[in-house]
Amino acid sequence: MISYRFLTNDDCAALYECFLAAFSDYLVDMRISEEQFAERLRRDGVELEFSAAAFVKDEMVGFYMNGLGCWQGLPTVYDAGTGVVPGHRGKGVAQQLFDFMLPRLRDAGLDQYLLEVLSNNEPAVKLYRRLGFLEVRKLAVFRSPLPLKSTKTAPAVEIREMENPDWDLYLTFWDGYPSWQNSIDAVNRLTKSRFIAGAFVESECVGYGVMAPATANVLQLAVAAGHRRRGVGSMILTTLQQQVSSGEPLRVNNIDAEMTSAVAFYEASGFKLALTQYEMLRKL
């Protein structure tokens, strides 16, 4: 018999093991260390008391990891990861877990539920549509086969490490808005495990990039419109790559597929489109 309950800090180890088991046959390699898993929870604002799991006796067999925050001006719960171990799929676990969580999420005053799902994962897409989720936009995921070694330079540009992001300025560089995992709130949650590079022409900041060195994930990168196609973005990318002590190539996740200039920039920098995801939303 399957039972359902909300999680506590005592469940962290079991949640990590269940995460690995649930994604062991996933379309994307999701093997990460416990440290990387903890950073993922921190970045996404996961709150265990609003996250739930399914158990057979004492064994966790499925879960929803939920982050709480504000999205597009509304109190929002974000699905930072949903999984069911292979032996317990097809039994309605994900549906029943969702129904179990819903009253607490509503009672907490949350207005909407946000998630991402691989666009070619038809069973998951069908499940979320059945649960009332609607597609908001398509997101692109890029991978580079090799660590970035750019030869492009902008002689008048100096790259400096930044302690604190200047969001009021950075927002003026944007052509769109990032996904939850790459949002301003996500960057702010990673205060002790992020790297910010600013590109300066004399005293003027004309671009920036933010990354998480432990996972080689580029969270944000943007250049002022008047300074694009001059090597500024390439210099920022090269600086971010240099922060990855493991030597892994940079990862670029969940770029709005309609931000054509950003897509073209990453492709010109040697990144390949690895997959696409749907960003989906439902009202609570």
In a domain, 192, yes or no: yes
CATH code where residue 201 lies:
3.40.630.30
| Same domain, yes or no: 172 and 272 | yes
Domain C-terminal end among 92, 110, 128: 110
Predicted model pTM: 0.94
pLDDT by residue (tens digit) across 150-196?
666 777 899 999 999 999 999 999 999 999 999 999 999 999 899 99
In a domain, 125, yes or no: no
In a domain, 121, yes or no: no
| Number of structural domains the chain divides into | 2
In a domain, 75, yes or no: yes
| Same domain, yes or no: 34 and 86 | yes
Mean pLDDT of the chain: 95
* Cβ–Cβ < 8 Å for 76, 70: yes
pLDDT by residue (tens digit) across 75-84?
999 999 999 9
In a domain, 134, yes or no: no
Look at the block and give the residue holding tokens 């597929």: 257
| Same domain, yes or no: 94 and 16 | yes
| Strand 112-118 to 74-84 pairing | parallel
pLDDT for residue 1: 87
- Helix (H) or strand (E) segment spanning residue 17: helix 12-22
Asked if residue 247 has pLDDT above 90, the reply is no
- Segments forming the whole domain that contains residue 73: 2-110
| Same domain, yes or no: 153 and 272 | yes
Domain C-terminal end among 68, 92, 110: 110
Residues 36, 39: Cα–Cα separation, whole Å? 5
Domain C-terminal end among 61, 86, 110: 110
| Same domain, yes or no: 162 and 97 | no
Asked if residue 4 has pLDDT above 90, the reply is yes
| Same domain, yes or no: 228 and 181 | yes
| Same domain, yes or no: 29 and 99 | yes
| Same domain, yes or no: 159 and 102 | no
In a domain, 71, yes or no: yes
pLDDT by residue (tens digit) across 93-126?
999 999 999 999 999 999 999 999 999 999 999 9
| Same domain, yes or no: 59 and 165 | no
In degrees, rounded to 5, the angle at the alpha carbon of residue 1 between the alpha carbons of residues 11 and 56 is 25
Residue 91 tokens, joined: 């039994």
In a domain, 117, yes or no: no
| Same domain, yes or no: 155 and 90 | no
Look at the block and give the residue holding tokens 């090799």: 146
| Neighbouring-strand partners of residue 65 | 81
In a domain, 251, yes or no: yes
Q: How many helices (H) and strands (E) does the chain have?
A: 8, 12
